[in-house]
Amino acid sequence: MSGNRPSSRALLTWALIAFLLASGCSSGRSEGPGGAGEPSSGAVRRGEAAAPSSGSPFWVDPDSAAARQVEEYEAAGRAEDAKLLRRISERPAAIWPSGEDPVPDVARAVRGAAGEDRTVVLVAYNVPHRDCGRYSAGGAADGDAYRRWLDAFAGAVGDARAVVVLEPDAVPHLVDGCTAGTYAQERYRLLSEAVDRLKRQPRTKVYLDAGNPAWLKDPGKLVEPLRRAGIGRADGFALNVANFQTDEVVRAFGRELSGLLGGVRFVVDTSRNGAGPLPGGGEEAWCNPPGRALGIPPTLRTGDGLVDAYLWVKRPGESDGTCRGGPAAGTWWPEYALGLARGASSSSPAAPGV
């Protein structure tokens, strides 16, 4: 990641990307990031700027768990903790609709974003046999139930400006064999259908999850699976969802995968990668690792011609699962949130060119 300011041509390029996202034109982890494997090596840049990213085009949820925690800390006289958590509460993070009916969560987010003329970032995470029975196990009961769920999800988006990260882990778990081969054909079909259904919404951009470079180290193994999942009709792929790999490592992996796919664009989850992955790795290095930090705030100004956006797909402060003393996956954990906020250095650049 370069701290140099971009050229005039680069600025024009990113202005065009912002326009495409606003107009809905196509440019072409899961709460439990299972299978993350050993951390990648690479340069680490700590944290992100402390000031809110007021120029972000993405919607900030005013009723997030982080926002409510800030209010609780202020009421309890914990002013410094409240100030730290504003690094999370005042920045846009993706909405993960839960339960059998996604409409209430999606509709609330869409209304909020429309009222502020912002783009809403959503995660569709309900594919059958989700997360191989691990911390975030669950998903729709069967293929037909998933189709109904996804149709309701897409219908609730309507004509709003939206970015959808489609099914974190779903393709990588097929590649690494964690998801049984007997489910492969159905999953590819469901993902491909989901891309088509979401793209019927006029201003929705869709990015298929492609794991992270510490999990599937050879991007070539993702090419055919992503094609079967509908990448050719999506807007691109998403990397590093709910993981901690550095921007440099993720971008290098993404550029290689993009080249193998014919120039497909991608987005990167920077929510918790400000300090990189846990040194030394280990089987569950991805699960609530200590000493991590917030990454670059969500932005379209990535400084990389193939990277559409840096996003906070994983909601910082929500647990990866019942490891290292954490609550159930997706549950707000204020102590961990404070750790991420403390780890973020106020002296680090917010993003290339910002």
- Residues forming a β-bridge with 124: 166
Amino acid at 177: G
Q: Mutual orientation of helices 220-228 and 247-260 as an angle, nearest 10°?
A: 60
Q: With H, G, I as helix, E, B as strand and everything else as coil, classify residue 52.
A: coil
Q: Which residue has 């992270």 as its token pair?
A: 212
The half-sphere exposure of 311 on its side-chain side, counting CA atoms within 13 A, is 30
- Residue 218 among the catalytic residues: no
- Residue 169 among the catalytic residues: yes
Amino acid at 298: P
149 annotated ligand binder: no
- Residue 131 among the catalytic residues: yes
215 annotated ligand binder: yes
Among residues 61, 81, 169, 235, the one annotated as catalytic is 169
DSSP string, 154-206: HHHHTTS-EEEEE-TTHHHHHHTT-S-GGGHHHHHHHHHHHHHHHHTSTTEEE
Long-range contacts of range 11-17, CB-CB < 8 Å, 24 or more positions apart? 11/353, 13/305, 14/300, 14/301, 14/302, 14/353, 17/300, 17/308
243 annotated ligand binder: yes
318 annotated ligand binder: yes
Among residues 61, 131, 209, 269, the one annotated as catalytic is 131
Longest dimension (CA), the chain: 55
Residue 77: exposed, middle, or buried by beta-carbon count in 10 A (0-12, 13-18, 19+)?
Answer: exposed
Among residues 81, 269, 308, 320, the one annotated as catalytic is 320
Sequence ranges of the binding site: 96, 215, 243, 286, 314, 318
Sequence ranges of the binding site for substrate: 96, 215, 243, 286, 314, 318
Residues with a catalytic annotation lie at 131, 169, 320
